[in-house]
Structure 1
Amino acid sequence: MTIYFYKVSDPYGCFSNFSVHPIEVEGLYWQTVEHYYQAQKFVRTENERLIQVIRDAKTPMEAAQIGRDRTLKLRCDWEEVKCQVMWQGVLTKFLTHTDIQVILLNTGEELIVEDSPTDYYWGCGQEKTGQNQLGQILMNVRQEIRRRLPKN
């Protein structure tokens, strides 16, 4: 059975980057993975000041709106590093919060799909033909956590 997730309030909502599960990466606190991910777009750019603005955003949606502003110049290597940034945020989230780590591990080997009707890169899109990169990362994080668990 494929596991679909999208909204935080839905079953498996903890898989969303908008779920309020704070993380710490390189000594910095982030309210959500979305805050972390959006801020990384501006590392070493003329808009680097936005990193703090995004960190301080009251909601993940506010952080996303800032980071998705098409008028802002992103770091030159963003397309090359964005999946690694997402991996770091998602892995840190599930290593930090053991309650949701259990939920992820309990998905067994099921396919995990971000059921975004509009995102064909991170999600599956309306026609379910998208790349589902976030679902792929979650399944890889699931495997990585299993690899790190002590063997009985």
Structure 2
Amino acid sequence: MAIYFYTSGSDYGCFSNFSSHGFELDGEYWPTAEHYFQAQKFPATADCDQIRQAKMPKDAAKMGRDRSRPLRKDWEEVKDDIMGKAVLRKFETHAEIREILLATGDEEIVENSPSDYYWGCGKDGSGKNMLGQILMKVREVLRKRTSE
């Protein structure tokens, strides 16, 4: 049986990039994984810093999707690794959500986004579910660490 999540206020909401589990990464504090992910579209720029300081993750997402900002040229090549880095750090930082992730065992984890066919499963379930894939990889990394 798969575990579905979407909004930060629902069951398994801590799996959402909008969950308020901040962390330090690359020498800065990030309020959410969404803040980090969106800001990395514009590394070492004023845009990056503005996004990091956004009040809410939805604001960071909107700013990161604003194509009037100059998107880094290699974004499509690096976005999965950047997401993985953020998700791993989030779960390394917060023991209580790390336990929730590890307690999912070998269940498939699915971001049940009706509109996102890349990070989520999309409305009809045909999406790539890349965020779910990353969460399952992070779970494996953390599981190996706890068994060492």
TM-score range, shorter chain: over 0.9
Q: Which TM-score applies when normalising by structure 2? A: 0.97
Specify the alignment match of 2:10 in structure 1: 10
Q: Distance in 1 between matches of 2:49 and 2:129?
A: 29
Shift of 1:86: 0.3
> Structure 1 residue runs of 4+, over 3 Å off?
none
Report if the CA contact (8 A) 2:47-2:69 is conserved: no
Unaligned runs of 5+ in 2: none
> 1:148 is matched with which residue?
145
TM-score by length of 1: 0.95
Q: Which secondary structure does the structure 2 equivalent of 1:149 belong to?
A: helix
Taking only aligned residues, the RMSD between alpha carbons, in angstroms, comes to 0.9
Give the Cα separation in 2 of the matches to 1:18 and 1:53: 17
Runs of 5+ unmatched residues, structure 1: none
Residue equivalent to 1:114: 111
Q: 1:103 Cα shift?
A: 0.3
Between 1:69-78 and 1:15-24, the stretch displaced more is: 69-78
User: 74, 82, 86: which one pairs with 2:79?
Assistant: 82
Deviations 1:10-64 (A, max 9, x none): 10000000000001112210000000000000015xxx21111111100000000
Deviates more, 1:131-140 or 1:72-81: 72-81
Matches of 2:130 and 2:24, distance apart in 1: 22
Q: Does 1:104 align with 2:104?
A: no
Cα distance 1:35–1:13, how it changes in 2: closer, same or farther (>3 A)? same
For residue 122 of structure 1, report the CA deviation from its aligned partner.
0.2
Structure 2 CA distance for aligned equivalents of residues 8 and 38 of structure 1: 17
CA distance in 1, matches of 2:43, 2:22: 20
**Pairwise CA distance, 1:73:** 2.0
Identity score, percent: 57
Matched ranges for 1:3-152 at <5 A? 3-43=3-43, 48-151=45-148
